[in-house]
């Protein structure tokens, strides 16, 4: 979040506002003691919480109230109005909460403190969050993977009161980082190494999360419950979470391993790419999907000449449809990118790459973004069921009891599509880490979050809710040109996913609509214990509506 002094708007809530100005189900942005504060009314209750999302600083008053929560307009984090807690990633920190005083009867208005009948006043900031019950179950939990899912799981375990040992083993040399930003702000030069970390070293130390970096797990013995590192060290576990993510697909062609050919997955990859970009004038990006195009946009921000090569004729057509794909191509062309589509690279040398038709493109930097493969080999060798991902049940437990999996590697039974799916989205990985952690502690919480991802290229942003691996209709409502539209993806009559361009509220509403669809089909879900469960929230909303 920006360190700049926050600009305040709306009324000073310490001076009171008339309750009638906050109808049921609405929010009011104001401020208290120099901080932006959100007042939200649900029925007879009025809540006051910090107004700025703790993820990237979105204004929460532009989000959506769902039950006693508010959802962030940008990347759909969910905060409790009662406690300020973040119930769902990607925000990891709570917002502040404030005491609200409501004056309903005349007898209470004659006090030394200013009070008007029918008004609500925001009083002092309330300290701390409610403490969870301590789970002193003495289970040693080992997490393999220090990425989105692994980090979210470790944090959630402590947050939920797990008091015993948590060991996080990460092959990465860097601490868990904001991977999506590597191709965006980090590569464009607006984020530093430090600001790109999810947490500081102190954070893990304070919470006694034993984080080992450069710790490559070579084997898991599920019979004797221990993992073994490549250097022979062993860690016994009571419960294991595998969150090994995905590895970039390597390009196989002559010159593919030259030093100026880069991939982007880790912070170290990002650092190396930035260093090379600083000394480059012309780049070729191989791959015209999300990472490739975000990289292209960020390199343009550094004024590097960029060419994009891809086998498709329209970028991202398969996922987003021809209209959006063509729009994105035009957007990049307007920013000076040259496309070479319907073709592939056949070789790379120190100064250029050669395409199938013999054309040579000058390149002192090559970035390859041709997809990733889930890192499932460890699970496979351990004997877990693997089929294009590690197979997990609705509680994210693998075929071996006591071994859970989350994030890019997990293929789970999705109740929206009725299929087993695996996605490569940051928010999904974090939410799976959170759910897996609660299930490790015995909550029996189904993983029901509706898949969500976003992309940012130049000043264009798109958010995608749902999952449409196969669709036959992409209906656009609004205008792509004006950057104000909703695209609905259907298969037959079934609505599978929605993409929104600068229509945050519509994206949130689509998420809630999908959650309600799941809730209607899930009679057993009433037993879900945790209010972080979107299905529980949706069921409560259905009952209330």
Contact code string over 192-211 relative to ligand FES, x by CB under 6 A: --------------------
- Output the smallest distance, CB 291 to ligand FAD, in A: 5
Q: How far apart are CA 292 and CA 177, in angstroms?
A: 19
Pick 8 or 191: Cβ nearer ligand FAD: 191
In b/e form, how buried is each residue of 56-92, taking b as 16+ CB within 10 angstroms? bebbbbbbbbbbbbbbbbbbbbbbbbebbbbbbbbbb
265 binds ligand FAD (CB under 6 A): yes
Least distance CB 126 / ligand FES (angstroms): 22
> Does residue 56 bind ligand FES (CB under 6 A)?
yes
* Pair of tokens at residue 321: 């449809």
Helix (H, G, I), strand (E, B) or coil at 459: coil
- The site for ligand FAD, by CB under 6 A, has a size of 37
> How far apart, in whole angstroms, are the C-alpha atoms of residue 396 and residue 393?
5
- Least distance (Å) from ligand FES to the CB of residue 433? 16
CA 173 – CA 195 distance, rounded (Å)? 17
Spatial separation of the C-alpha atoms in residues 92 and 433, rounded to whole Å: 12
Is the separation of the CB atoms in 412 and 428 below 8 Å?
A: no
Residue 77 binding: pick among ligand FES, ligand FAD, none (C-beta 5-8 Å cut-off by kind): ligand FES
Footprint of ligand FAD on residues 118-157 (CB under 6 A)?
Answer: 144-150
Task: From 399, 395, 410, select the one nearest 442 (Cα to Cα).
Answer: 395
Q: Please name every residue paired with 491 in a beta bridge, in sequence order, or none if there are none.
A: 494
Instruction: State how far the alpha carbon of 521 is from the alpha carbons of 7, 279, 326, in Å.
Output: 45, 56, 37
Which of 16, 84, 180, 507 contacts ligand FAD by CB under 6 A?
180
Q: What share of the chain is helix, strand, coil (3-state, %, to 5)?
A: 25, 30, 45
**φ, ψ for residue 393, nearest 5 deg:** -90, -170
Contact (Cβ atoms closer than 8 angstroms) between residue 498 and residue 466 = yes
Site map for ligand FAD, 286-305, x if CB under 6 A?
-----x--------------
**464 near ligand FES, rule: CB under 6 A:** no
Q: Which residues pair with 261 in a beta bridge?
A: 366
Residue 521, classed as helix, strand or coil, is coil
Is it true that the peptide bond before 351 is cis, omega within 30 degrees of 0? no
Q: Is 390 within 8 Å of 379 (Cβ atoms)?
A: yes
Residue span binding ligand FES (CB under 6 A) among the ranges 48-56, 372-380, 437-445, 489-497:
48-56
Residues 437-466 contacting ligand FAD, CB under 6 A: 453-455
**Residue 179 touches ligand FAD, criterion: CB under 6 A:** yes
What three-state secondary structure class fits 305?
Answer: strand
Minimum CB separation of residue 72 from ligand FES in Å reads 3
Q: Could you tell which of ligand FAD, ligand FES, none binds residue 144, using a CB distance below 5 to 8 A set by kind?
A: ligand FAD
Place of tokens 């019950």: 133
Q: Could you say which residues in the range 325-384 bind ligand FAD, by CB under 6 A?
A: 375, 378
Length of the chain: 545
If the CB atoms of residues 11 and 73 are measured against ligand FAD, the closer one turns out to be 73
- Three-state SS at 48: strand
Q: Does 62 interact with ligand FES (rule: CB under 6 A)?
A: no
Question: Of 187-216, which residues contact ligand FAD (CB under 6 A)?
Answer: 215-216
Min separation Cβ 94 and ligand FES, Å: 13
Residues 67-96 within binding reach of ligand FES (CB under 6 A): 72, 74-75, 77, 90-91
Binders of ligand FES in range 425-444 (CB under 6 A): none
> By the criterion CB under 6 A, which residues form the site for ligand FES?
53, 55-56, 58, 72, 74-75, 77, 90-91
> By the criterion CB under 6 A, which residues form the site for ligand FAD?
144-150, 169-172, 179-180, 182-183, 215-217, 243-246, 264-265, 291, 375, 378, 407-408, 424-427, 429, 453-455
């Amino acid at each position: 979040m920006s360190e700049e002094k926050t600009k305040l708007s709306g009324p000073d809530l310490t001076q009171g506002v008339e309750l009638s100005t906050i109808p049921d189900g609405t929010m009011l942005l104001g401020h208290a003691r120099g901080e932006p504060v959100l007042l939200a009314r649900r029925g007879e209750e009025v809540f006051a919480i910090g107004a700025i999302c703790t993820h990237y600083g979105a204004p929460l008053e532009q989000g959506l109230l769902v039950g006693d929560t508010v959802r962030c307009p940008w990347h759909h984090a969910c905060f409790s109005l009662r406690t300020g807690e973040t119930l769902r990633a990607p925000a990891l920190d709570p917002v502040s909460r404030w005491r609200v005083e409501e004056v309903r009867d005349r007898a209470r208005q004659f006090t030394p403190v200013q009070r008007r009948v029918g008004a609500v006043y925001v009083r002092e900031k309330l300290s701390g969050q409610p403490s969870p019950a301590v789970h002193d179950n003495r289970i040693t939990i080992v997490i393999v993977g220090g990425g989105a899912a692994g980090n979210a799981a470790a944090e959630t375990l402590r947050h939920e009161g797990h008091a015993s040992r948590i060991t996080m083993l990460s092959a990465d040399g860097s601490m868990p980082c904001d991977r999506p930003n590597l191709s965006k702000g980090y590569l464009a030069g607006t984020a530093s190494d430090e600001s790109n970390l999810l947490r500081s070293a102190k954070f893990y130390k304070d919470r006694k999360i034993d984080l080992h970096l450069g710790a490559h797990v070579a084997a898991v013995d599920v019979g004797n419950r221990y993992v073994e590192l490549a250097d022979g060290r062993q860690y016994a576990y009571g419960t294991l979470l595998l969150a090994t993510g995905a590895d970039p697909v390597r390009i196989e062609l002559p010159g593919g391993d030259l030093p100026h050919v880069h991939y982007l997955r880790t912070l170290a990859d990002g650092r190396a790419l930035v260093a090379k970009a600083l000394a480059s004038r012309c780049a070729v990006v191989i791959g015209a999907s999300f990472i490739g195009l975000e990289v292209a946009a960020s390199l343009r921000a550094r004024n590097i000449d960029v060419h994009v090569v891809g086998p498709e004729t329209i970028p991202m057509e398969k996922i987003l449809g021809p209209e959006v794909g063509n729009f994105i191509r035009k957007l990049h062309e307007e920013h000076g990118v040259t496309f070479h589509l319907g073709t592939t690279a056949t070789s790379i040398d120190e100064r250029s790459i050669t395409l199938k038709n013999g054309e040579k493109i000058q390149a002192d930097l090559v970035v390859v973004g041709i997809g990733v493969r889930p890192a499932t080999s460890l699970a496979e060798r351990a004997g877990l069921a693997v089929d294009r991902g590690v197979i997990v049940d609705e509680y994210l437990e693998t075929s071996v009891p006591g071994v859970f999996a989350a994030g890019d590697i997990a293929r789970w039974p999705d109740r929206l599509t009725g299929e087993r799916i695996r996605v490569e989205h940051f928010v999904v990985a974090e939410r799976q880490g959170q759910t897996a952690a609660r299930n490790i502690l015995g909550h029996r919480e189904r993983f029901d979050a509706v898949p969500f991802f976003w992309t940012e290229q130049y000043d264009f942003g798109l958010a995608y809710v749902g999952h449409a691996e196969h669709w036959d209709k992409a209906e656009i409502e609004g205008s792509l040109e004006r950057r104000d539209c909703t695209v609905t993806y259907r298969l037959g009559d079934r609505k599978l996913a929605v993409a929104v361009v600068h229509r945050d509220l519509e994206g949130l509403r689509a998420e809630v609509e999908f959650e309600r669809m799941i809730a209607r089909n899930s009679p057993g879900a009433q037993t879900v214990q945790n209010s972080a469960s979107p299905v529980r929230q949706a069921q409560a909303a259905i009952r209330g509506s």
